[in-house]
Amino acid sequence: MNKFNAKKTEYNGNVYDSKKEADFARDLDLLIRAREVLGYKTQVDYPVFINNKKVFSYKLDFEITDKDGRVRLVDIKGYKKGSAYQIFKLKRKCVEAYYGVKIDEE
């Protein structure tokens, strides 16, 4: 059991932190078969450094490459309350600023 009672869920030989993440991966696989998405990576590490010192690492749920080559960053969130969610939002803002990217939340 993960935090917020999310159940680890296996899909296609991979274990995801929640059923919602596994369902998202399944949907991406359907989009790959439909040739709308070229591919995706899961649990991509985005370290953040300040003054050459690693401050934290951000584990992104999905890095998706669309058919036009555009890369989308997506984090899956089920529970959107409490201090853990506030920390997530702060880390997401830091990563977006540090890397010059936009992280979508599903």
Identify the H or E element spanning 106.
none
47-102 pLDDT per residue, tens: 999 999 999 999 999 999 999 999 999 999 887 888 888 999 999 999 999 999 99
**Whole-number pLDDT of residue 78:** 80
Q: Residues 73, 103: contact at Cβ < 8 Å?
A: yes
Question: What is the structure's pLDDT at 19?
Answer: 92
Tell if the pTM clears 0.85, that is, is over it.
yes
In this structure, are strands 14-16 and 53-66 parallel, antiparallel, or unpaired?
unpaired
